[in-house]
Amino acid sequence: MAPEALTRTWTFLTAMASSTLWREGQAGDGREQELLQHVLKVAEKNPQSVMKTIDQYAQRSWLMNIGEDKGLILDQALTDRKPKAVLELGAYVGYSAVRISSQLDQPGATVISLEMSADNSNITRQVVAHAGLSDKVQVVEGILKDKVEEITRLLHELDAKTFDFVFLDHDKNFYLSDFLILKEHGLVGKGTVVFADNMKIPGSPLYREYVLKTNADDFDTVEHKTRFEYLRWLPDSVIISTCK
């Protein structure tokens, strides 16, 4: 293995072993803050340069962004749906918020990005601002059950009743329960596309069972087999479900 790939693998393993990753959304060694400083220093102030800078940084210090390979599947899903109202659960350092919002071309189109960590919310706001996309991304700090009213208000401000596109990329144990909260509050409906990342690693068995088995008739679902972010030797998949 090349030295960079070894370092990347090592930083992946140390992140996975870190007690703070799952609790606080950060790897525990300051890499997310360092990434922010790196973006502010070297990236040009446009989305492509910001994403490229983050992808390059993640080649040596692994980050849990959707990354380049799965990012292309996300891009295609956005092209197919052309959403105006997007909800993202899990912002981390803002990579996917930049990736998604840079492709929204409808007037007023917005990504509402929910992030539990205050530090990650701050990093995301700065990364998004550097990419010149602050008018298309609203970062909400917290978890869904506490933020449903705020998210509903923001959605209604977009003149929409339901989200066109939901990107699930937060705690995999919450994919199903948070989807059910959205459903219960009428925030998803016919035509909503739900894109679920990391359906193989680490996986979300309850969500998988729901969309592919117990409630399969409620959705048109496609699973794309792909590669894990920045570690191509690991298999992963994404599940894209359109609500009927």
Ligand X SMILES: C[S@@+](CC[C@H](N)C(=O)[O-])C[C@H]1O[C@@H](n2cnc3c(N)ncnc32)[C@H](O)[C@@H]1O
**Residues labelled catalytic:** 169, 172, 197-198, 229
Q: Nearest approach, Cβ of 15 to ligand X (angstroms)?
A: 11
Among 171, 191, 203, 221, indicate the residue that binds ligand X (CB under 6 A): 171
**Of 2 and 203, CB closest to ligand X:** 203
Say how many CA atoms lie within 13 Å of 124 toward its Cβ. 33
Name residues contacting ligand X, limited to 30-89 (CB under 6 A).
64-66, 89
Among 36, 58, 169, 227, indicate the residue that binds ligand X (CB under 6 A): 169
What is the DSSP code string of 200-215? TTT--HHHHHIIIIIT
SS3 for 168? strand
Among 36, 86, 87, 114, indicate the residue that binds ligand X (CB under 6 A): 114
Partners of 140 in beta bridges: 114
181 binds ligand X (CB under 6 A): no
Q: Nearest approach, Cβ of 225 to ligand X (angstroms)?
A: 18
CB neighbourhood size of 152 (10 A): 15
For 7, the token pair is 């370092």
Q: Are strands 219-228 and 231-243 parallel, antiparallel or unpaired?
A: antiparallel
Q: Are strands 137-141 and 110-115 parallel, antiparallel or unpaired?
A: parallel
12 binds ligand X (CB under 6 A): no
Confirm if 127 and 50 have CB atoms less than 8 A apart: yes
**Of 159 and 239, CB closest to ligand X:** 239
170 binds ligand X (CB under 6 A): yes
Stretches 104-112, 127-135, 163-171, 231-239: which one binds ligand X (CB under 6 A)?
Answer: 163-171
- What stretch of H or E contains 226? strand 219-228
- Binding-site ranges for ligand X (CB under 6 A): 25, 64-66, 89-92, 95-96, 114-117, 120, 143, 169-171, 174
